[in-house]
Amino acid sequence: MGRVLIIATNGFEQSELTGPRDALNEAGIETVVASPEAGEIKGWQHTDWGDPVKVDKTLDQVNADEFDAIVLPGGQMNPDVLRMDETAVGLVKSFFDAGKPVAAICHGPWLLAEADIVRGRTVTSWPSIRTDLRNAGANVVDEEVSVDGNLITSRKPDDIPAFSKAIITAIKDATASVAAA
């Protein structure tokens, strides 16, 4: 049905990786977790470290051609580290430039700003990074999920069901149009 790349590193918001991943898997969509480091990465859950998640591939082992979409979980630490990683930022830009769904939640849109792909687009995020997104040229809204072309953004863990549904819909629409072509 489809294949989705999830990129994260230590300090990702636990539910923002596992929630969309599990929803995608239940919808018959394969997920691959990639990180700068091999092995496992540790999530952040509320006020303390969460559970480890197995890393399927390192960032340098993947490219946008192999996937139908990319998902960027939030958490404060995770995207702050990844936005300084040229490979991670390059992957985000590659997906966007290919017209594939790019989905980011909470602090994840920091990577969208870093990849310079929010200019003139409508997005949402965790409140504390909205000024950064505006400064990068985005039209920022406070909505459960914002879909603008191939950009899908959400604000917080409470939005995960709507966020996941929007990703699944975008992948189904994209794979249906490819199959019809």
* pLDDT score of 155: 98
Is 8 part of any domain? Answer: yes
Is 83 part of any domain? Answer: yes
φ, ψ at 67 (rounded to 5°) = -135, 160
Instruction: Give Cα separations from 135 to 77, 130, 132, 139, 178 (angstroms).
Output: 21, 9, 5, 10, 35
Active site residue 107: yes
pTM of the model: 0.97
CATH number of the domain that residue 19 is part of = 3.40.50.880
**Catalytic-role residue among 107, 121, 130, 155:** 107
Count up the domains in the chain and report the number.
1
Is 84 part of any domain? Answer: yes
> pLDDT (tens digit, 0 to 9) for every residue of the chain, 181 residues total?
799 999 999 999 999 999 999 999 999 999 999 999 999 999 999 889 999 999 999 999 999 999 999 999 999 999 999 999 999 999 999 999 999 999 999 999 999 999 999 999 999 999 999 999 999 999 999 999 999 999 999 999 999 999 999 999 999 988 777 677 6
Is 181 part of any domain? Answer: no
* pLDDT score of 176: 75
* pLDDT score of 78: 96
Residue 82 is part of which domain span? 3-176
Name the DSSP class of 63.
-
